[in-house]
Amino acid sequence: MKSVISALLLAAVSQAAPAPSSKTTTEIGSNPILFDGRIPPLFRSALLDNDTTSPYNAEYVLGLEPWSKVVHFPNVDHSLFDVPLGGKPIIVSINDKSIFQTQTGFRRSELLPDVNSGNDVTTNGVTAHHFSIRTDNTRPLNYSHEYQPVFIETQDYSSHVWQLKTGTPFGESWTEEAATTLRIYSSSTSSDALEIFNVPFTTDDWHNFALEEDWTNNLLTLYYSTGQSPLAVVAGPMANDNSGKGQFHVGMLKLPTGPNGIDVTKEGYQEKRPNEGLTYGGVFIEDTSSGSVTLEPAV
C-alpha cells in the first residue's frame, strides 16, 4: 500500500492523480480484486467525467449534470475498507436535474463499475460486492419516498439479483421509524423479493455491507458491520436466483410517491427542488472463489 500512496503523491506533483486501479490484485485482503472503486485521497471529481480517468462509467446512470456536479467529498471518517488507502468518502446526490433519459418519475444518479457490462468477471464464479453507506446530513432524504441506493440490476433490466432499499416502499404507508431503515432484499428474478435483513439507518454511522454471490450455484450470503468493526455473516448462504447477472449500481434512485398502478418511471410526485445525498466508501468487488470473504482490511 505504501507504494500506491507514494505513486499518488508523485502523481499529485505532476498534477494528475491516477484513477484507482481495477482488475488488479490490491492489498485489501488476500483475494483478487475484480474492481476497486475506492476513491484515493487526491482524486478530483472531474476525473469521474471521463472514462479514461474514472473507475466508474462516466455517462451512466446520470441526469443532465456530469458526475463532477453530482458528487461531493465530505469531511467524515474513512470507512472500514478506505482506511488503508486513506480513501475518500464520496457523496452521490440528486437534484431537480437528476432525470435519466425519459424517466421523469425517478430522480437518479448511480455509479456503475467500468468493468461491469452485465456478464463479466464481476458476475461469474463467486464474488463479493462491498460498500459502506452513511447519511449525508447536509442533504437528508425524505423517508416518505422509496429509495434504492445499491443493487444489482439484471442484464436484461427486468429484475434484481439483490437490492438495498430505504424509505417507504412505493404505494405503502409506513411510520418514519420503520421507513428509516436499511433493508436488503433477495432476487426478484423468478420469485418475489424477500426482505432478508433490516437495520435502523442511524445517522453518522458507517454501515458496512458485503454481498457474496455464488453465480454458479445461485447462493447469496450477506455480511454486515458498523463503524470500524469487521464484517460478520448476518444472512445466508441462502438460495437466490442469480441467473440474470447484471450491473452493480451505487448511488441514489428515488421513486416518486403516488397511487398504486402508475408507471413509476414516468409518473407520480417528486419535490420540485430536491437536494438529497448518500455517502459511500469502500466500494470494491472481490473474487471469493477461494472460499473466504475479506472481513476487514489487511493492515
Ligand X SMILES: *[C@@H]1O[C@H](CO)[C@@H](O)[C@H](O)[C@H]1NC(C)=O
3-state secondary structure (DSSP) of residue 122: helix
x/- site string to ligand X, residues 90 to 129, per CB under 6 A? ----------------------------------------
| Contact stretch for ligand X (CB under 6 A) within 30-38, 138-146, 198-206, 245-253 | 138-146
Q: What gap in Å lies between CA 238 and CA 218, rounded to an integer?
A: 8
75 Cβ contact list (under 8 Å, min separation 6): none
Q: How far is CA 247 from the centre of its chain?
A: 11
- Position 137 contacts ligand X (CB under 6 A): no
- Position 50 contacts ligand X (CB under 6 A): yes
Q: How far is CA 149 from the centre of its chain?
A: 6
Q: How many Cβ atoms sit within 10 Å of the Cβ of residue 136?
A: 22
The nearest distance, CB 190 to ligand X, in angstroms, is 32
The nearest distance, CB 51 to ligand X, in angstroms, is 7
x/- site string to ligand X, residues 242 to 261, per CB under 6 A? ---------------x----
Residue closer to ligand X, measured from CB, 41 or 258: 258
Closest CA to 166 of 230, 252, 55, 232: 252
- Position 269 contacts ligand X (CB under 6 A): yes
290 Cβ contact list (under 8 Å, min separation 6): 30, 31
- Give me the amino acid identity at 279: T
- Position 15 contacts ligand X (CB under 6 A): no
- Position 144 contacts ligand X (CB under 6 A): yes
Applying CB under 6 A, which residues contact ligand X?
A: 50, 52, 142, 144-145, 257, 269, 271
